[in-house]
């Protein structure tokens, strides 16, 4: 697929998705949403991709929705439930369902959808000049991309209420202290830091283990009781006797050498995962 509002490339098993409207400070459009969702899906099904990096061209990650012209879909009538999916959710839903880890590299302004679309990422690295804003209350609109579900899980309900109800800007140091971002970097060093983390994940982790872990953390932690997690863990641990990755991981550790994991996400995910049943 030829993309117009993003750039997509794969190198050394790392897929890079770059918001690419620097002249508009990467203002978010429906085309950008659909291209991001398509690229994320392509990365997910490509066994040659182990990690995804999401970044923005220019000085800003994304200043929010581009409200000019017809760049965003709007409707003034109620639509039946499930009949229409708002653009930011098209991205965050696909990112949430991904079986590969996602690293968001954020510089400059990340406002509105620029803040909400990064919440399902596994790692958020930010430049020291970055600033975030869940500014919906100050525009008379509503949060999108499932952010009312993701944000409290990342930073706690009290802080999520503060940020979303007030709609104020959040500077990089506050975002770091709240756990919204993993680390801060000089702007010129941000992408190198993201690539370094991506290479570490590629070289040291098992793709099937990562796919199960990133889904289990969100899906199990959202339940009212740990009993489903106990049941799932028992099934997962019982299945390790048939896992070449488990044997390789143990032998590599004992022999003090890098592990070479052979199982693939497309072929070797456990069939009993409850979320596979829900989405099949």
The pLDDT value recorded for residue 97 is 95
Query: For position 1, what pLDDT does the model report?
Result: 74
Domain boundaries, the chain: 6-202, 206-279
Write b or e for each residue in 124-143: b if 16 or more Cβ atoms lie within 10 A of its Cβ, otherwise e.
Answer: bbbbebbbbbbbbeeeeeeb
Q: Do the domains 206-279 and 6-202 match in fold?
A: no
Residue 147 Cα distances to 46, 134, 136, 279, angstroms:
27, 9, 11, 21
pLDDT along the chain (280 residues), means of 10: 94 98 97 98 96 98 85 60 88 97 98 98 98 97 96 97 98 98 98 98 97 95 94 95 94 96 94 78
Q: Identify the architecture of domain 6-202 in CATH.
A: Alpha-Beta Complex (3.90)
Q: What is the pLDDT of residue 276?
A: 84
How would CATH label the architecture of 206-279? Orthogonal Bundle (1.10)
CA distance 234 to 211: 17
């Amino acid at each position: 697929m030829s993309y117009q509002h993003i750039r997509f490339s794969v190198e050394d098993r790392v897929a890079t998705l770059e918001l690419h409207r620097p002249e508009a400070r990467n203002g978010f459009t429906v085309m950008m949403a659909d291209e991001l969702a398509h690229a994320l899906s392509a990365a997910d099904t490509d066994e040659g991709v182990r990690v995804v990096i999401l970044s923005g061209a220019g000085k800003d990650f994304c200043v929010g929705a581009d409200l000019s012209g017809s760049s965003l879909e709007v409707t003034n009538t109620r639509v039946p439930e499930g009949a229409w999916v708002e653009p930011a959710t098209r991205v965050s839903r696909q990112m949430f369902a991904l079986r590969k880890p996602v690293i968001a590299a954020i510089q400059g302004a990340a406002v509105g959808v620029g803040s909400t679309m990064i919440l399902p990422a596994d790692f958020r690295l930010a430049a020291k000049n970055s600033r975030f804003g869940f500014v919906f209350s100050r525009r008379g609109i509503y949060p999108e991309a499932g952010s009312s579900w993701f944000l409290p899980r990342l930073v706690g309900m009290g802080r999520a209420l503060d940020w979303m109800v007030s709609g104020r800007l959040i500077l990089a140091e506050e975002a770091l202290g709240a756990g919204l971002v993993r680390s801060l970097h000089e702007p010129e060093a941000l992408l190198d830091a993201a690539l370094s983390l991506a290479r570490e994940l590629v070289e040291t982790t098992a793709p099937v283990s990562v796919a199960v872990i990133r889904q289990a953390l969100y899906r199990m932690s959202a339940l009212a009781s740990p009993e489903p997690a106990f049941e799932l863990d028992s099934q997962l641990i019982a299945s390790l006797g048939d896992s070449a990755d488990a044997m390789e991981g143990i032998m590599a550790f004992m022999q003090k050498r890098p592990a070479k994991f052979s199982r693939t996400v497309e072929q070797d995910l456990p069939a009993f995962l409850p979320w596979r049943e829900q989405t099949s």
